[in-house]
């Protein structure tokens, strides 16, 4: 059975699956995968206070190793539709480019992988193991009812994956530039410093919390956290907001708040960062509250069988050896790394989340070739885990 990656990408883009709405996108995938022999399971998860999310786990075969492609059909909102030169969900083709929200991030990659599987089945028959797809509708949102819960569901059923490629747009300028073999973690701190309200003319009767707030923030931003290492760029801490909410210029406020985010490499953990921040704030003194949230730890899939399999496939198709990188933000690979080795490779990311998001048709076809090369090689190089 032949599947045209361009036509499938168009069908997916035409489903307006803005997080957390599915918009029919997973149904399009099921219609493509079922005739190929995949057993498709729709998984709906809902956590109190969050919107329900539809996910899809599809598997072809029952033997190991189980090679998984992970991705998301949800997309960010299109923004001002009048700013688009075409309809954001029309999936129009102009001058060799397919336009639409999700073309790059990441419906195009999903379509390329499905087309690659179909081609490989026609050429070689069933795989020497299993091929699965873990597709979520919650990656661009709060990411609580998506990949993380699908992985929990899999563990409860004894369902294992042995290696995973995530189809995020990893290439900065041209297809074949970069493979992500890890990501920095993300740690957010929500700080409230307390004092006592009073008149500015009588400061001895008040307790101004703002000088302490400033000293606390200065103490955690004064010096770099580290210099980076072989695989990771330096960690960075950025203060993202400082709020007092005081409309009066003659009143000392009772409290001030600030939020900061740390993108950290594998020289730190969420626990070590929280301990350091609290120790630093304690040294300044005064009453404060600190709430810490880690949306994902740093991780690294060291150069080895999986990264090399992907890099070899990229080089075979594009003629260039991709860089191994851990740059950028977070992705659902931060959850998958607890289940198996994982790397990321997809399209060129220059237009993701932008007006007139688009993918070159040639890139879509070459990505299909790359995924096909990975499928042909991966089962010989990635053994099933015991």
Q: Which two tokens stand for residue 47?
A: 């956590």
- Please state the φ and ψ torsions of residue 377, each to the nearest 5 degrees: -100, -25
> Can you point out the beta strands (E) in 107-162?
130-136
Residue 133 burial by Cβ neighbours in a 10 Å radius (0-12, 13-18, 19+): buried
For 361-364, the CB contacts below 8 A with 24+ separation are 361/6, 361/93, 361/96, 361/97, 361/98, 362/96, 363/175, 364/5, 364/6, 364/9, 364/98, 364/108, 364/111, 364/112
Active centre residues (catalytic): 74, 139
Query: Per this entry, what is the length of the chain?
Result: 386
Helix pair 361-381, 108-124: axis angle to 10 deg: 50
Helices (H), 184-343: 210-221, 270-284, 305-318, 333-336
d(CA 186, CA 112): 30
The answer to whether residues 54 and 42 touch, using CB atoms and an 8 Å cutoff, is yes
d(CA 86, CA 26): 24
Looking up tokens 């539709």 gives 81
């Amino acid at each position: 059975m032949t599947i045209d990656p361009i036509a499938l990408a168009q069908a997916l883009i035409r489903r307006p699956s803005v997080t957390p709405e599915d918009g029919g996108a997973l149904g399009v995938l099921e219609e493509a995968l079922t005739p190929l022999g995949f057993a498709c399971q729709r998984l709906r998860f809902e956590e109190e206070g969050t919107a329900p999310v539809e996910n899809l786990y599809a598997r072809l075969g029952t033997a190991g190793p189980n090679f998984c492609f992970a991705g998301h059909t949800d997309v960010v909102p299109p923004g001002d539709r009048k700013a688009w030169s075409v309809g954001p969900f029309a999936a129009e083709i102009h001058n060799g480019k397919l336009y639409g929200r999700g073309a790059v991030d990441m419906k195009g990659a999903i379509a390329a992988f499905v087309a690659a599987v179909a081609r490989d089945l026609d050429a070689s028959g069933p795989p020497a193991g299993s091929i699965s797809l873990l597709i979520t509708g919650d990656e661009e949102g709060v990411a609580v009812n998506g990949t993380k819960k699908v992985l929990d569901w899999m563990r409860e059923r004894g369902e294992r994956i042995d290696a995973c490629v995530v189809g995020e747009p990893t290439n900065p300028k041209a297809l074949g530039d970069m493979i992500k073999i890890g990501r920095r973690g993300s740690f957010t701190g929500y700080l409230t410093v307390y004092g006592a309200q009073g008149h500015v003319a009588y400061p001895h009767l008040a307790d101004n919390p703002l000088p302490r707030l400033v000293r606390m923030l200065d103490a955690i931003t004064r010096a770099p956290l580290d210099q980076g290492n072989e695989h990771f760029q330096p960690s960075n801490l950025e203060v993202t907001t400082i709020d007092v909410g005081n409309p009066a210029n003659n009143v000392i406020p009772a409290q001030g708040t600030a939020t900061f985010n740390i993108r950290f490499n594998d020289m730190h953990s969420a626990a070590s960062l929280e301990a350091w921040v609290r120790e630093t704030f304690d040294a300044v003194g005064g009453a404060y509250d600190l709430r810490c949230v880690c949306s994902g730890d740093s991780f690294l899939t060291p150069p080895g069988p999986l990264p090399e399999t992907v890099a070899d496939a990229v080089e075979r198709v594009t003629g260039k050896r991709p860089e191994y990188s851990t740059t950028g933000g977070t992705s659902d690979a931060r959850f998958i790394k607890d289940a198996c080795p994982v790397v990321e490779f997809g399209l060129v990311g220059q237009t993701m989340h932008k007006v007139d998001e688009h993918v070159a048709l040639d890139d879509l076809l070459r990505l299909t070739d790359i995924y096909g090369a990975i499928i042909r090689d991966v089962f010989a190089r990635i053994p099933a885990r015991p």
